[in-house]
Amino acid sequence: MRIAMLAPVAWRTPPYHYGPWELVTSLLTEELVRQGIDVTLFATADSKTSAKLESIIPNGYEGNPKVDAKVAECLHISNCFEKASCFDLIHNNFDFLPLTYSPFVNVPVLTTIHGFSSPLIIPVFEKYNNSTYYVSISNADRARSLKYVRTIYHGIDIGQFTFRNYDKGYLVFLGRIHPDKGAVEAIEIAKACGKELIMAGIIQDNAYYKNQVAPLIDNKTIHYIGSIGPSQRDELLGGAAALLHPINFNEPFGLVIIEAMACGTPSIAYIRGSMPELIVNGVNGFLVNNTEEAIRAVGQIGSIKRVVCRKTVEEKFTVERMTQEYIEVYKEILKK
Asked whether the predicted pLDDT for residue 65 surpasses 90, the reply is: no
Question: What class does CATH assign to 2-155+318-335?
Answer: alpha beta
Asked whether the predicted pLDDT for residue 230 surpasses 90, the reply is: no
Asked whether the predicted pLDDT for residue 90 surpasses 90, the reply is: yes
Identify the three-state secondary structure at position 223.
strand
CB 20 within 8 A of CB 36: no
pLDDT of residue 336: 84
CATH topology match: 2-155+318-335 vs 158-316 = yes
Note the pTM of the prediction, 2 decimals: 0.93
Q: Alpha helix (H) ranges present in 169-225?
A: 183-193, 206-208
Angstrom distance (rounded) from CA 142 to CA 158: 27
Residues contacting residue 286 through CB under 8 Å, at least 6 positions apart: 266, 267, 268, 269, 279, 294, 297, 300, 301, 304
Q: How many helices (H) and strands (E) are present in the chain, helices listed first?
A: 11, 13
Of residues 283, 285, 282, the one with CA closest to residue 259: 285
The kind and range of the H/E element at 60 are: none
Asked whether the predicted pLDDT for residue 131 surpasses 90, the reply is: yes
Place 19 in a pLDDT band, splitting at 50, 70 and 90. Answer: confident
What's the whole-number average pLDDT of the chain? Answer: 96
Q: Mind listing the pLDDT tens digit for each residue in 289-325?
A: 999 999 999 999 999 999 999 999 999 999 999 999 9
pLDDT of residue 234: 95
pLDDT of residue 173: 98
**Across-strand partners of 2?**
38
pLDDT of residue 64: 84
Burial class of residue 104 in the structure, from the number of CB atoms within 10 Å of its CB (0-12 exposed, 13-18 middle, 19+ buried): exposed
Angstrom distance (rounded) from CA 83 to CA 85: 6
**Amino acid at site 39:** V
Identify the three-state secondary structure at position 217.
coil
Residues contacting residue 305 through CB under 8 Å, at least 6 positions apart: none
Can you tell me the mean pLDDT for 5-25? 93
pLDDT of residue 67: 86
How many C-beta atoms lie closer than 10 Å to residue 36's C-beta? 7
Can you tell me the mean pLDDT for 186-199? 97
pLDDT of residue 296: 97
**Amino acid at site 282:** G
Q: Does domain 158-316 have CATH number 3.20.20.100?
A: no
Place 98 in a pLDDT band, splitting at 50, 70 and 90. Answer: very high
pLDDT of residue 66: 85
Asked whether the predicted pLDDT for residue 116 surpasses 90, the reply is: yes
Angstrom distance (rounded) from CA 128 to CA 119: 16
pLDDT of residue 31: 97
Asked whether the predicted pLDDT for residue 110 surpasses 90, the reply is: yes
Of residues 221, 225, 227, 235, the one with CA closest to residue 190: 221
Q: Mind listing the pLDDT tens digit for each residue in 152-168?
A: 999 999 999 999 999 99
**Domain assignments of the chain as residue spans, ordered by start:** 2-155+318-335, 158-316
**Amino acid at site 23:** L
How many C-beta atoms lie closer than 10 Å to residue 315's C-beta? 9
Place 34 in a pLDDT band, splitting at 50, 70 and 90. Answer: very high
